[in-house]
A and B are shown apart, each in its own frame.
Chain A
Amino acid sequence: MKDFFRSTGVICALPVVVLLLLVFIAPLFLVFGFSFVPARTFDLFSIPTLDNYQSIVTDTYYISFGWSLFLAFLAVVILFLICYPLAFAMAKVFGRFSIVITMAVVISLLVSENIRLFGWVLVLMKGGVFLGYLEHWFAVELESWLYGAPIIIFGLVYVYLPFMLFPLTLGISMIPNELRQAASDLGAGRWTIFREVDLPLAMPGILIGCMLTFVLCAGAMAEAKVLGGSKVLTMADEIETAFTYKQNWPLGSALSVILIVTVAGIALFTLRTIDLDRILGKTR
Chain B
Amino acid sequence: MQESNVILQLRNVTKTFGDFVAIRDVNLDIYDGEFLTIVGPSGSGKTTMIRLLVGMDKPTEGDIHLKNIRINDVPANKRPTCMVFQSLALFPHRTVGQNIEFPLKIRGDDSSSRKDRAMDLIRLLQLPENYYSKNVMKCSGGERQRVALARALAFDPEILFFDEPLSSIDFRLRKTLEKELKDIHRRTGKTFVYITHSLEEAMVMSDRIAVLRQGEFVQIGSPDDIYNQPKNQFVSEFMGEVNVFPVEVREDGSLHCSEVDAVFACPSPHQIPGSRGSLVVRPEAIRFLEPGEQCSSSLDGAVFNEYSLGSRMQYNVQVADKMITVEKLREQRYEGDFDRSVSIGWDIEDSVLLDITD
B46 within 8 A of A: no
| CB of A185 to closest CB in B, whole Å | 5
List chain B residues, Cβ under 8 A from A241.
none
A183, A185, A189: residue with the most chain B Cβ atoms closer than 10 Å: A185
List chain A residues, Cβ under 8 A from B93.
200-201
In angstroms, Cα B55 to Cα A284, docked, is 30
In the complex, which residues 86-114 of chain B have their Cβ closer than 8 Å to any Cβ of chain A?
87, 89, 91-93, 102-103, 106-107
| CB of B134 to closest CB in A, whole Å | 15
List chain A residues, Cβ under 8 A from B55.
185
A184-B102 contact in complex given A178-B87, A179-B91, A283-B137, C-beta closer than 8 Å: no
Q: Is the interface of A mostly helix, strand, loop or mixed?
A: helix
B320 within 8 A of A: no
| CB of B8 to closest CB in A, whole Å | 16
Q: How many interface residues does A have (CB within 8 Å)? A: 19
A135 within 8 A of B: no
The 8 closest A-B pairs by CB, nearest first: A182-B89, A178-B89, A186-B103, A184-B77, A185-B76, A187-B106, A200-B93, A179-B89
B85 within 8 A of A: yes
Q: Name B86's closest neighbour in chain A (CB-CB).
A: A178
Q: For chains A and B in complex, what number of residue pairs have CB atoms within 8 angstroms?
A: 53
- A181 contact from B76, B91, B107, Cβ within 8 A: B76
In the complex, which residues 23-73 of chain A have their Cβ closer than 8 Å to any Cβ of chain B?
none
B155 within 8 A of A: yes
Q: Name B51's closest neighbour in chain A (CB-CB).
A: A181
B82 within 8 A of A: yes
B102–A186 CB distance below 8 A: yes
List chain B residues, Cβ under 8 A from A189.
77
In angstroms, Cα B86 to Cα A176, docked, is 13
| CB of B148 to closest CB in A, whole Å | 9
Q: Name A193's closest neighbour in chain B (CB-CB).
A: B77
A141 within 8 A of B: no
A279 within 8 A of B: no
A contact residues vs B (CB 8 Å cutoff): 176, 178-179, 181-189, 192, 196-197, 200-201, 283-284
B328 within 8 A of A: no
- B89 contact from A181, A188, A192, A196, Cβ within 8 A: A181
- A186 contact from B75, B87, B92, B155, Cβ within 8 A: B155
Q: Name A197's closest neighbour in chain B (CB-CB).
A: B91
In angstroms, Cα B101 to Cα A186, docked, is 11
List chain A residues, Cβ under 8 A from B82.
185-186
| Complex A-B: 27 CB contacts under 8 Å | A176-B87, A178-B87, A178-B89, A179-B89, A181-B56, A181-B76, A181-B85, A181-B89, A183-B91, A183-B102, A184-B76, A184-B77, A185-B76, A185-B83, A186-B82, A186-B106, A186-B151, A187-B77, A187-B103, A187-B106, A188-B77, A192-B106, A196-B102, A200-B93, A201-B92, A201-B93, A284-B92
B302 within 8 A of A: no
List chain A residues, Cβ under 8 A from B155.
186-187
